[in-house]
Amino acid sequence: MINLTSGWVQHPGVPGGWHLEYVDPVAGFNISIVTGPKGSGLMGIIAPGQPTTYEAWFPGLSNPTGYLTLDEIRGIIMYLREKDRDDDMYTD
């Protein structure tokens, strides 16, 4: 199970924003996930009447990826776990 619902803290630099530092218990990588109100400058939005979207910084990327749902982030985590497992299979 990939728990992205607990551990959220208020974002220190974005009023009304939230931050989660996810550490994957299977592969050990970190993902920073943020969201905030519209106009906050984040690529994730908390907007009344609309689904919340999130900005996530995945390992190996030089920039964050934005406007993702939590289900999309879970899917990327599953892919990264598989990639990590496959990479370990071919490493001495």
Residues 35-76: tens digit of each pLDDT: 999 999 999 999 989 999 999 999 989 999 999 999 999 999
Prediction pTM value: 0.89
**Residue 90: its pLDDT value, please?**
60
57 in helix, strand or coil?
strand
Query: 90: which DSSP letter?
Result: T
Give pLDDT, residue 91: 58
Residue 4 has pLDDT above 80, yes or no: yes
Question: How far apart, in whole angstroms, are the C-alpha atoms of residue 26 and residue 15?
Answer: 33
For 3-23, what is the mean pLDDT?
96
Q: What is the mean pLDDT of the chain?
A: 92
* pLDDT-derived band at 26, boundaries 50, 70, 90: very high
Distance of alpha carbon 63 from alpha carbon 54, whole angstroms? 14
Handedness of CA 73, 78, 79, 81 (dihedral sign): positive
Mean pLDDT of 18-45: 96
SS3 of 80, please? Answer: helix
Distance separating alpha carbons of residues 1 and 81, to the nearest angstrom: 12
